[in-house]
Amino acid sequence: MAQARAATNEHAETAGSRAGGRPRDPALDEAIILATRARLVQDGYSRMTIGDIAADAGVSRPTLYRRWSNKFELVTDALDYGFRKQRDMDGLDLSRLEPREALVEAVRRLDPAYFNPDAMVLMGNFAGEAVRTPELLEILRKHAVEPRVTLVENVLSQLQERGAVSDDIDKHTIATMCFGSYFAAFYRGDSKKKIPETVVAVLWPAIATRRRTRRQAPYAQ
pLDDT tens series, the chain, 221 aa: 445 455 444 544 544 444 444 467 889 999 999 999 999 999 999 999 999 999 999 999 999 999 999 999 999 999 998 888 777 656 667 778 999 999 999 999 999 998 889 999 999 999 999 999 999 999 999 988 999 999 999 999 999 999 999 999 999 999 999 999 999 999 999 999 999 999 999 999 999 998 644 444 444 44
Same fold, 2-83 and 91-207: yes
| 2-83 has CATH 1.10.357.10 classification | yes
- Contact call for residues 119 and 60 (beta carbons, < 8 A): no
Spatial CB neighbours of 15, under 8 Å, sequence gap ≥ 6: 22
Specify the amino acid at residue 22: R
How much is the pLDDT for 72? Answer: 95
| 91-207 has CATH 1.10.357.10 classification | yes
How much is the pLDDT for 183? Answer: 95
Residue ranges per structural domain of the chain: 2-83, 91-207
Buried b (16+ CB within 10 A) or exposed e, 19-36: eeeeeebeebbebbbbbb
How much is the pLDDT for 96? Answer: 81
Residues in the chain: 221
Q: What is the pTM of this model?
A: 0.77
How much is the pLDDT for 23? Answer: 60
Strand positions, DSSP E, the chain: none
Nearest to 166 by CA among 106, 212, 207, 213: 207
SS3 assignment, position 23: coil
Measure the CA–CA gap between 10 and 183, rounded to whole angstroms: 41
According to DSSP, residue 70 is labeled S
- Contact call for residues 37 and 114 (beta carbons, < 8 A): no
How much is the pLDDT for 93? Answer: 72
